Amino acid sequence: MKNPLKSLTILSMVGAFTSLAQTFPIKDGTLFTTVKGPNIYGYGTGTSSQQSINGHKGREFGDDITLDSNKYIFTSVEFDFFAGNAGGTYVFSMYAMDGALSSANKKTPGTSLFEFTGSISKGNNNVTQGYISTPGDVFTLPNHFAYTIKFAGNTDVGMYIASSVDNGTRNDGQNFAYPGSSFSDFLVKTGTGSGEWDTRAVADGAGGFGVTFKAGFVPEPTTVALGVLGAVVLIGSTLRRNRR
C-alpha cells in the first residue's frame, strides 16, 4: 500500500520544483528613478498656442524610458503630483514605444501595457501601484517604454518636474547606474490618432517627472538550471528519507 504522506510530499516538492523553474530568482530593485524638483508641470492658463505649451491642458503627457535589456519584470511604480483643489481623477498608463512615427519622425507610445486610475486629493498626492507577476502572468518590460498620466475634472493639478535623473547603486550592492535612462524632454499627446505625440522640454528640469520604477530580474538560463538542480536534489533527499 502506498504511503499517502509520502505521495503528498512528492507532489508538494514537484509543485515547488515547477514554481521554482518558472520564477526563480526575482530580486526587487530600482529600475529607474528621478530626483523630484519643487516645480510643477500644471494645467496652464494661457489660451494662445505658445502659452498652452507651458501646461498640459488636460492632455495625456509623460516620458519614455530606455532600458539596457528586456530582462526586467515590472513590480511597482511610485510618483507624486500636486493639486490645489480636490476633485477629479487621473489615469496612469504604460506603453511600449512601438507606435507610429510622429511628424518629427520619432517613436511614439503604442501597445498598452498597464493602466490604473485614482482620485485627486488636495495637496501632495503620493501614489504607489504594484504588480504581482505569477508563473502564468509575468509582466516583462520592453527595453523602450513610456509612462503617461492624464488628469480630468481638475484644472489645478500637475506633476512634479524632475530636477535630475538619479543614477545610483542597485540594492543588490552592485556599483553601477540604474538600468533605465531618459532624454531631457517629455511627451504630450497632441491628437487622437496613432503617432500624434509631440516632444516638449522645460527650462527648469531634467525633462521628465518625479517617478520611480521598481522591477525584478528575469533569471538567466544557467541560474534557472541551478535552481532546478537544487529542487531535484531536495526531492531525492526527501525520497531517501521516506524509504527508511
Same domain, 238 and 133: no
Mean pLDDT computed over 102-128 = 94
Bond preceding residue 179 cis, omega within 30 of 0: no
- Residues 136, 114 share a domain: yes
The CATH number assigned to the domain holding 180 equals 2.60.120
- 30 and 19 within one domain: no
Q: Do 5 and 112 sit in the same domain of this protein?
A: no
Show the cell assigned to 39: 516645480
The predicted-structure confidence for 45-56, as pLDDT tens digits, reads as follows 654 444 445 689
Contact 182, 160 (CB under 8 A): no
Residues 244 and 154 in one domain: no
Give the integer Cα–Cα distance in Å for 136 and 214. Answer: 20
Please check whether residues 182 and 126 belong to one and the same domain.
yes
Spatial CA neighbour of 56 closest among 151, 163, 168: 151
Residue type, position 13, single letter? M
49 and 118 co-located in one domain: yes
Give the strand pairing for 157-165 and 144-152.
unpaired
Question: What is the structure's pLDDT at 231?
Answer: 45
Task: With cut-offs at 50, 70 and 90, classify the pLDDT of residue 65.
Answer: very high
- Encode pLDDT of 14-33 as tens digits: 333 333 333 333 344 888 88
- SS3 state of residue 105: coil
Low-confidence winner among 24-28, 73-77, 97-101, 185-189 (lowest mean pLDDT): 24-28
Tell me which amino acid residue 228 is.
V
Domain boundaries, position 203: 26-218
SS percent in the chain: helix, strand, coil, step 5: 20, 40, 40
What's the mean per-residue pLDDT of the chain?
76
Give the helix ranges, DSSP H, for the chain.
4-23, 49-52, 221-243
Q: How far apart are CA 56 and CA 52, in angstroms?
A: 7
Q: Which amino acid is located at 4 in the chain?
A: P
H/E stretch holding 62 reads strand 61-67
**Amino acid 133: pLDDT:** 80
Give me the number of domains the chain comprises. 2
Residues 234 and 118 in one domain: no
For cell 545610483, what's the residue? 168
